[in-house]
Amino acid sequence: MRILPTPTISILFTALSASLIGCSGSTTPASPPAQGGSAGAPSNSAGSGGDVTSLGGSSGGSAGAIIVAGASNSGGSAGSVALGGAGGASGAGGAAGGGTTSSCDKSMATWTDTSNAYASQDYGGSFLRKNFWNKAQAGAGTLGLWAASSSCWGVDATSEDTGNSGTVKSYPDMARGWVVGTAGFQNPNSGLPIQVKDLTKAKIRWNMSVTGTPLRHYALWDIYFHETASPGKGTAPVNLMIKQRVVDPSNYEQDTESAGATAVTQTFSGITFRENKNTGLKSGSRIVIELFATPVNGADMGVDDMTLDLKEVIDHYVQDGSILTTDYLTSIQAGWEIVAGGTFVTKDFWTALQDDPEPTN
C-alpha cells in the first residue's frame, strides 16, 4: 500500500528498526516470519512483507496477503480452489467438485483457532492462515480464525485503530502457490507456477460480508510474478495488488494518485479500478501495480462481491510492458489487512487456473 510521509514515520522507524526484520512481519525476533507481503512507498520508513504498516500513512510495509483454497467434495485438477460445500480437501490440489455453497456463517465451522498467531489449515493446493504478525502492536486485540471449507471461512477481530493510526495488525488470508517468508512454494499441489505465455485461464472470486464498528481494513489480493519458476523467499519482481474492498475513515486511500496526480482508471470484467503503478514499493523489485476497485462512497471503496477475469488483467499489463511473457505467475493470495476489527466472513471464494472448473451457484 502507498504511505504518505508524515512526521510520525521517522520517529516510529527509529523506535522499531532494531526489532523489525525484513520479512518477519513481527516486532519480536522470536515470532515466526509472516508470509506474504505488500507494500511500502518510496518515502516509507518500514519495508516489505510484514513490517509495521498503515492505511493512513504512518509507517511503511504492508502485511502480506494470501489466498486460495483447494477443498472439494470430489477431487479435481491440481491447484484449483474448491467451493463444493463444506467437504474436506481431496484430489491433487482439490479442484471444485460441484456448486458453491449458497450460505456461510461461523456456525458451520469445522476448524477454529483463537490462540496461535500463525495457525493455518491446509486445503490441498492452498492453505488458510491467521498471520497475526503484528499482535504486539497497541490496539492489536484478539483474532479468531474459523473455516468450514476453502470457500467458507472468516475472522473475528477485536483490534482497534489506536497508537500509530493506520497500523495493520494482521493479515488472515488464503494462499495458493509461492509465499513470502518461506523457501519457495509451501503448497506443492497448487498448480503454480505457470509461465505467462502459457497461461490460458485465470479467474478469481471473493464474496464477503464485513460488519462491526469502527472498521478499517483492506480486502486485498496479492498476485506475484517471478522471473524464474523456482524463486526463493525474497521479494518478487512484480506484485499485482487488487484492493477489492477498502474501508478507511481517514479517506487516505480514496485519493487519486501518489503526489496528487490525476487518477488513471482501467476497467476489467465490468469493474472500474483506479490504477497506481510504482517502481519504489518494496513488495515488487521491478514494479507494483495497485488496482483499487470502485465505486467510492465516503469511507467505503470497492465491492463486496467480485468475480474477475484475472487473465484479462494480466494480458493488459503484458501489453504495456509491466509483466513479461517470460515471467511466471507464482502466487495468488487474498485476505483482510485488518487495522480496526469486526466480523469478517468469506461467503464464497475460489480461483480457477488453466483447466480448473469454475464453480457456479
CA 51 – CA 60 distance, rounded (Å): 7
**φ/ψ of residue 14, rounded to 5:** -60, -40
CA 166 – CA 144 distance, rounded (Å): 21
Give residue 264's pLDDT.
87
Give residue 256's pLDDT.
57
Q: 3-state DSSP call for residue 14?
A: helix
Q: Residue 65 falls within a domain, yes or no?
A: yes
CA 359 – CA 77 distance, rounded (Å): 13
Q: Residue 17 falls within a domain, yes or no?
A: yes
Q: Residue 92 falls within a domain, yes or no?
A: yes
Nearest to 33 by CA among 55, 48, 54, 12: 48
Q: Residue 360 falls within a domain, yes or no?
A: no
Percentage above 90 pLDDT, the chain: 54
DSSP readout, 82-99?
A: P-STTPPB-SSS----SP
Q: Residue 69 falls within a domain, yes or no?
A: yes
Q: Residue 255 falls within a domain, yes or no?
A: yes
Please determine, for residue 8, whether its predicted confidence score (pLDDT) is greater than 80. no
How many Å is the maximal CA-CA distance in the chain?
55
The total number of structural domains in the chain stands at 1
Give residue 183's pLDDT.
62
Q: Residue 358 falls within a domain, yes or no?
A: no
Give residue 282's pLDDT.
72
* CATH at 106: 2.60.120.180
For the segment 2-27, the average pLDDT, to the nearest whole number, is 32
Give residue 50's pLDDT.
36
Expressed as residue numbers, the domain containing 31 is 7-353
Identity at 103, one-letter amino acid code: S
Give residue 255's pLDDT.
67
Q: What is the reported pTM?
A: 0.75
Assigned C-alpha cell, 225: 510474478
Identity at 274, one-letter amino acid code: R
